[in-house]
Chain A
Amino acid sequence: MNQPLTLTAARTVGPRWTLGIAAVALAILIALPLLSLLPNDHPLQVSAYTLTLVGKILCYAIVALALDLVWGYAGLLSLGHGVFFALGGYAMGMYLMRQASGEGIPAFMTFLSWTEIPWFWAGTQHFLWALCLVVLAPGLLAFVFGFFAFRSRIKGVYFSIMTQALTFAGMLLFFRNETGFGGNNGFTGFTTLLGFPIAAPGMRALLFLLTVALLVASLLLGWQLARSKFGRILTAIRDAENRVMFCGYDPRGFKLFVWTLSAVICGLAGALYVPQVGIINPSEMAPTNSIEAAIWVALGGRGTLIGPVLGAGIVNGAKSWFTVAFPEYWLFFLGLLFIVVTLFLPKGVIGLIRKDKET
Chain B
Amino acid sequence: MKATPVPNLVDASFSSESSGLGHQVTGGLDTRHGTILTLEDIGVSFDGFKALNALTLYIGVGELRCIIGPNGAGKTTLMDVITGKTRPDTGKAYFGETLDLTRLSEVEIAQAGIGRKFQKPTVFEALTVYENLELAQKTNKSVWASLRATLTGEQQDRLEEVLVTIRLAESRHRPAGLLSHGQKQFLEIGMLLTQEPQLLLLDEPVAGMTDAETEFTAELFTSLARKHSLMVVEHDMGFVEAIADHVTVLHQGHVLAEGSLAEVQANEQVIEVYLGR
Contacts and interface: CB of A to CB of B under 8 A. Distances in A.
A244 B107 CA distance: 9
Nearest to A249: B141
Main secondary structure of the interface of A (DSSP, over half): helix
B106 A246 contact: yes
A249 B107 contact: yes
B125 A239 contact: yes
Nearest to A253: B143
B110 A230 contact: no
Contact of A245 (B107, B134, B178): B107
Contact of A240 (B106, B123, B146, B178): B123
B147 interface: yes
Nearest to B124: A236
Contact of A232 (B83, B127, B141): B127
Contacts of B111: 248
Contacts of B126: 2-5, 235, 238-239
Nearest to A257: B143
A232 B126 CA distance: 9
Nearest to A233: B146
Give the interface residue-count category, chain A.
Answer: 20 to 34
A250 interface: yes
B245 interface: no
B149 interface: yes
Interface in A12-38: none
Contacts of B115: 246
Give the interface residue-count category, chain B.
Answer: 20 to 34
Given A243-B123, A246-B106, A228 B149 contact: yes
A248 B143 contact: no
B100 to A, nearest CB: 18
Contacts of B124: 232, 235-236, 239-240, 243
A344 B136 CA distance: 36
A335 to B, nearest CB: 30
A177 B109 CA distance: 51
B177 A246 contact: no
Candidate in B107, B118, B178 with the most chain A CB atoms within 10 angstroms:
B107
A226 to B, nearest CB: 12
Contact of B127 (A236, A242, A248, A250): A236
A240 B125 CA distance: 9
A229 interface: yes
Contacts of A145: none
B147 to A, nearest CB: 5
B40 interface: no
Interface of B: 83, 105-107, 110-111, 115-116, 118, 122-128, 131, 134-136, 138, 141-143, 146-149, 175, 177-178, 191, 195
Given A230-B149, A248-B111, 5 more contacts: A243-B122, A248-B107, A248-B141, A249-B107, A253-B142
23 contacts: A1-B175, A2-B126, A4-B127, A4-B131, A228-B146, A228-B148, A229-B134, A229-B135, A229-B147, A229-B149, A230-B143, A232-B127, A238-B126, A239-B126, A242-B122, A243-B124, A245-B110, A246-B110, A246-B116, A247-B136, A248-B141, A250-B105, A254-B146
4 closest A-B pairs by CB: A248-B110, A229-B149, A236-B124, A230-B146
